């Protein structure tokens, strides 16, 4: 009798649970979507191209509109201030939800269990009945705007304009920044030792010849990252995922959410493509990007370097093998900051079964549980005008890079995230002393660290500019004598050569070298000469856009207005 009652009880509980689920689906209208585009802090375009509007509250527009004019009168502020508030509100919303997976529930966006509407109500930008819902935050934001002397920065021409309706209509691609951020652009002229490009513009982001394509991204024009796969680098990766027929092997440092990539991976799996993944895990079982663990659910055939007998270093590769015939590799992580073009990166696409074989041999070692110094050295990896080096077994700096520097005759141009390797530094100084023109664009944050060699290089007469933009100079490249290009994942450091899993390509191609040289010149000319002598702060007055980009640029745990360097701007 007791067992019968138990069965009945379980049956009733099951029915109640099922009824609850049905009720939740019907009445809460819960579904999974991605925010494709933020039109305003109140209106969003979802991945199904349908609009979603937050009801019952209001905000400023990001343009000069009649609504902004009326709100300005009621709140006793100027139209210009309403325009700035509208743009900041849009930046705030984009950084919060654009490109993210969300659920729609009770007229709200839910992301990571947080309700967007609650966050918006507590922000400086939410209005209800023509009044701020958080008056303290609103007044604080307004005070900052009045103190900050903001301007319109035209991202296409680098010109700045005072805030006004007339000036707004002169530009299409723009961002609102403090005038302090761009005053150096006005005060300092491009370095005369490098020939300026016409109008300082660089419309071409890639070079293609035969089975080779080089793609670069420009940190000087993309001052706010997004999750829309908006860079040519991301689009190239996406196209190859979508066209893969049999296999995709990925070796990535980590992943931050880019919905278009996730969608492409799902569709590739659905059509029968076998996808495998290797990635990095630190000693605490974490990855640099928390979204990596969500990505693993899409690709269950995965391995990480914690499973290796040699697990103390970093799996820092960023390469992809498609159908054993195409390789994409370079400096770009599968992160939204790299995939949107916010950081400067370079990648190379090689359509070659022979080169793909080199990368497959490396991938198989890692997928099989061998990483770092536990890996075996593979055979000579040279095909046509391409030579491949893998760290740490191939000693890429010793065998690949140092001979190139020693043999340079005219120039060496280096866009680099990190230069800390002593022998590289020494050989660059020797090259300078024998008359080689050497110029380096360094990442601002890394140039400020104690291990950076930029001070030693500068003191030896080498021109080193530290970039002064919100994004990172994340490339790990070298261009030499209109003859050679180096592209890869390896920073020019001791750990890059001797401990981490890395790869570099040395390409001997005159046209490719000239293409990359011109891109280097373009970026060099956009960085004021002041930064040949000084090093800008990665977040704050020195770096354009760094206080409105929603990114913790100097990794101190504080973003934009929370950062002391941004608070001090006047």
Other residues' Cβ atoms within 10 Å of the Cβ of residue 407:
12
Residue spans of the domains in the chain: they are 21-148, 198-532
Provide block-wise average pLDDT over 10 residues at a time, the chain (570 residues).
Answer: 55 55 45 80 87 90 93 93 92 81 82 81 92 92 85 81 91 82 44 41 79 96 90 97 98 95 97 98 90 96 86 92 98 97 97 98 96 87 96 96 98 97 97 97 90 92 95 97 98 95 98 96 93 91 87 86 71
Please tell me whether the overall predicted TM-score, pTM, comes out greater than 0.75 for this model: yes
Q: What is the CATH number of domain 198-532?
A: 3.30.870.10
* pLDDT reported for residue 12: 58
Q: Do 523 and 415 contact (CB within 8 A), yes or no?
A: yes
Q: How far is CA 168 from CA 66, 78, 148, 250, in A?
A: 15, 15, 18, 44
Residues belonging to the active site: 474, 476, 481
**E strands present in 399-458:** 411-416, 437-442
Do residues 99 and 226 make contact, with C-beta atoms less than 8 angstroms apart?
yes
The token duo for 536 is 């800008």
SS3 of 279, please? strand
**pLDDT for residue 565:** 80
Name the H helices within 57-134: 66-75, 79-97, 116-121
Bond preceding residue 289 cis, omega within 30 of 0:
no
The pLDDT value given to residue 3: 56
pLDDT computed for residue 420 by the predictor: 95
377: Cβ–Cβ under 8 A, 6 or more apart, which residues?
Answer: 393, 394
Distance of CA 518 to the CA centre of its chain: 22
H or E element at residue 28:
helix 2-28
- How many residues are recorded in the chain? 570
- Fold agreement (21-148, 198-532): no
Tell me, which fold does domain 21-148 have in CATH?
Answer: OB fold (Dihydrolipoamide Acetyltransferase, E2P) (2.40.50)
3-class SS of residue 226: coil
């Amino acid at each position: 009798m007791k067992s019968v009652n138990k069965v009945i009880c379980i049956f009733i509980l099951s029915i109640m649970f099922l009824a609850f689920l049905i009720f939740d689906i019907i009445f809460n209208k819960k579904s999974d979507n991605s925010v494709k585009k933020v039109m305003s802090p109140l209106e969003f375009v979802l991945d199904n191209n349908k609009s979603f509007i937050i009801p019952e509250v209001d905000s400023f527009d990001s343009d000069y509109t009649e609504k902004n004019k009326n709100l300005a009168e009621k709140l006793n502020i100027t139209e210009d201030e309403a325009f700035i508030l509208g743009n900041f509100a849009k930046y705030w919303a984009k950084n919060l939800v654009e490109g993210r997976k969300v659920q729609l529930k009770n007229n709200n966006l839910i992301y990571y269990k947080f309700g967007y509407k609650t966050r918006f109500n507590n922000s400086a930008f939410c209005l209800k009945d023509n009044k701020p819902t958080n008056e303290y935050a609103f007044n604080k934001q307004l005070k900052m705007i009045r103190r900050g002397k903001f301007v319109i920065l035209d991202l296409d021409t680098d010109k700045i304009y005072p805030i006004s309706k007339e000036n707004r209509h002169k530009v299409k691609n723009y961002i609102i920044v403090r005038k302090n951020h761009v005053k150096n652009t006005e005060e300092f002229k491009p370095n005369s030792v490098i020939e300026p490009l016409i109008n300082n513009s660089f419309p071409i982001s890639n070079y293609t010849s035969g089975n080779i394509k080089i793609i670069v991204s420009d940190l000087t024009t993309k001052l706010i990252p997004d999750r829309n796969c908006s860079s040519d680098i991301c689009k190239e990766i996406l196209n190859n995922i979508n066209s893969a027929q049999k296999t995709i092997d990925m070796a990535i440092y980590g992943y931050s959410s880019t919905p278009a990539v996730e969608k492409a991976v799902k569709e590739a799996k659905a059509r029968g493509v076998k996808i495998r993944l290797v990635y990095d895990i630190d000693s605490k079982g974490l990855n640099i990007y928390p979204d990596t663990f969500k990505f693993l659910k899409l690709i269950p055939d995965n391995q990480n370097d914690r499973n290796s007998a040699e697990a103390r270093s970093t799996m820092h590769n960023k390469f992809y093998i498609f159908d054993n015939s195409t390789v994409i590799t370079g400096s770009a992580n599968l992160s939204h900051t790299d995939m949107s073009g916010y950081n400067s990166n370079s990648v190379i696409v090689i359509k070659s079964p022979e080169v793909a074989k080199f990368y497959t041999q490396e991938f198989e070692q890692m997928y099989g549980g061998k990483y770092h110094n536990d890996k075996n050295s593979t055979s000579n990896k040279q095909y046509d005008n391409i030579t491949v080096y893998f760290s740490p077994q191939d000693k890429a700096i010793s065998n690949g890079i140092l001979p190139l520097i020693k043999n340079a005759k005219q120039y060496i141009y280096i866009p680099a995230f990190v230069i800390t390797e002593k022998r590289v530094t020494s050989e660059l100084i020797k090259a300078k002393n024998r008359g080689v023109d050497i110029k380096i664009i360094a990442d601002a944050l890394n140039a400020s660290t104690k291990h950076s060699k930029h001070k030693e290089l500068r003191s030896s007469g080498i021109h080193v500019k530290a970039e002064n933009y919100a994004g990172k100079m994340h490339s790990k490249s070298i261009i030499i004598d209109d003859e050679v290009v180096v592209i890869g994942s390896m920073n020019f450091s001791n750990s890059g050569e001797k401990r981490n899993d890395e790869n570099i390509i040395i390409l001997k191609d005159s046209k490719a070298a000239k293409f990359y040289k011109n891109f280097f010149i373009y970026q060099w000319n956009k960085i004021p000469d002041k930064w040949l002598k000084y090093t800008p702060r990665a977040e704050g007055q020195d770096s354009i856009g760094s206080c409105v980009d929603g990114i913790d640029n100097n990794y101190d745990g504080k973003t934009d207005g929370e950062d002391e360097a941004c608070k001090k701007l006047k």
